[in-house]
Amino acid sequence: MAGYFAIILVLLTLISGLIWLVDALFFAPKRQRKINAAVTAAGGDISKLNVAEIAAEPAIVETARSIFPLIAIITFVRSFLYEPFQIPSGSMMPTLLVGDFILVEKFSYDVKDPIWRKPLITTGRPEHGDVAVFKYPEAPTIDYIKRIVGLPGDRIIYRNKQLFIQKACPQADKSSCEPLKALDIQLKSDGEFFDGPFPLKRLAENNGHKAYSILNNPMAPENVHMYYRQNGTEVDEFIVPEGHYFAMGDNRDNSKDSRFFGFVPEANLVGKAVFIWMSFEFNQDPDSFLPRFIPVGVRLERLGPLE
């Protein structure tokens, strides 16, 4: 089911539209007849009449008529085309930073109704490397954003900070199955980002058709004891079920993702993150008098399509 804001937006659209429609069909004609009768009684001299006093339009109708077109457009765009999101945490660093404002393409993974989120039109499915927004499986009113690294049928292993993938293949023809492969990674920088006092390694990870940046903290242990356990696999191995996806944050040692909460159901997908349209830098100095929610800079260099 959709989040509270989406439900409120849809209800506001329906209520304002219904008020406007009922008034246009039933009450507005009555007001017009009263005005016409008054004009006739005045001998056609409408200048002597106060139309507002004769048949005033109720304030609720005037408000509904004013807001309905705008609310309807916002609801349509937000429900079926693009929805803006703000990045609240560093789990997708360096791809997305705290203070980035992104656009999520809602129609990338099917067109869904805005309330119950049932598919209306089939449009597509996630691909390896997509940055996707989805409803957190353990609390579906919360939106998460991670990178899709595993598709249905894939075998995923994350071991010693290295991602291995064996892509799904037809059950009938095992000879065409690809072997388990380690994704290619190359060091891009060291110390550009930090986790407290610890410098992070920025790496370029390549899944075969898309390259993107990830962060690793060499000092952070792998919390395999907290990993989601799947029957029949090793503790750091996952077989993606049909109709599900495996998602990971690019900040690999600071991300709560499918390693910990399990697989993302297809029904939970919201859309594909495609563009950074604004990026604010916020105050991080604990001694500053400025609240942390006040922007102190704009990172214009970050604006553009996501990798």
Active site (catalytic) residues? 91, 146
Pair of tokens at residue 279 = 């990026």
Q: How much of the chain is in helix, strand and coil states, percent to nearest 5? A: 30, 30, 40
Q: What is the largest CA-CA distance in the chain?
A: 94
Long-range contacts of 193-201 (CB under 8 A, 24+ apart): 193/93, 193/94, 195/220, 195/253, 195/254, 200/251, 200/253
Contact 190, 206 (CB under 8 A): no
HSE on the CB side for 293, CA within 13 Å? 2
DSSP letter at 26 equals I
Phi and psi for 209 in degrees, rounded to 5? Answer: -135, 0
* CA angle (253, 254, 256) in 5-degree steps: 105
DSSP state of 140: T
CA gap 27, 14 in Å, rounded: 19
Tokens of 166: 């064996």
Instruction: Please state, in angstroms and as integers, the Cα–Cα distance from residue 10 to each residue in 5, 6, 7, following that order.
Output: 9, 6, 5
In angstroms, the CA 178 to CA 145 distance is: 28
Phi, psi of 81 (to 5 degrees): -115, -75
Query: Which H or E run includes 16?
Result: helix 4-22
Residue with tokens 């410098």: 199
